[in-house]
Chain A
Amino acid sequence: MKYRSEYLKDCITVMPEGDLDAESARETREYLDKLIDGYRFDTFIIDFAKVDFMDSTGIGVLLGRYKRIKALGADLCVTNVRPQVDKVFRISGLYQIIKAVSV
């Protein structure tokens, strides 16, 4: 998994690249937590444009970050969600708490 991130006007955008599964869960969690701990932000956006695959391990990673970001009074959003990941989001009900936005 590779990651790029951008910090602009109280908004962090992260663009992971690769499959988000049990193999990449830990490094993804660590990468996101470093940003959460290191910056002040109102909105945290994960751009899924380059994630072709995610399974339920990814749901766990996202829910864990959601709780941390919520506790800081900020929002977690996702964008550019591709079809396979979109189906996992829909079936698990994740869109009910993590909003999809267009950027």
Chain B
Amino acid sequence: MKITNHVSITLPALHGNEGFARAAVAAFCAPLSPTLEEINDIKTAVSEAVTNVIVHAYPGTSGNVELTVRIFDDRVIDIVVADQGTGMSNVEEARKPFFTTKSQEEHSGMGFTIMEAFTDKIEILSEKGRGTSISMRKELKNA
């Protein structure tokens, strides 16, 4: 596969930026003529990953969301959402539907389930105290 376009955005992990992040990725992918469903899938997955950085990655401190989008052969979209925050000690547990460490704030624990359902592939790398990196792939069908 040949990389045909890419973009990197660094932004502070603050509420308000989740909307910008999903709109920015959608706009970047728009020239590939995705279907409305594909664009919505991408927006939803990006929103979940970026929201997790804003909500979970930097408890009591501040930090950045690092968002990278790479497009291969004008058809395959790789999205990486990374932070240098608190990390997770048990990724398998975190991926389970309804698992949340913030139930008292009504977080649903469905973020990873939605990321998995709305993309073709997801890879989660996390190290306690070092940070987390979520890689998601979406292949456009008719491109």
Contact = CB atoms under 8 A, between A and B. Distances in A.
Interface residues of B, number: 28
Interface in B43-70: 43-44, 47-48, 51, 54-55
Sorting the interface of chain A by its residue count into under 10, 10 to 19, 20 to 34 or 35 or more gives 20 to 34
Contacts of B117: 91
A21 interface: yes
Given A55-B44, A55-B51, A88-B114, A23 B19 contact: yes
B110 interface: yes
Contact of A21 (B37, B51, B109): B51
Contact of A55 (B15, B16, B106, B114): B114
Given A22-B18, A57-B108, A92 B51 contact: no
B44 A57 contact: no
B43 A53 contact: yes
Contact of A63 (B37, B108, B113): B108
B85 interface: no
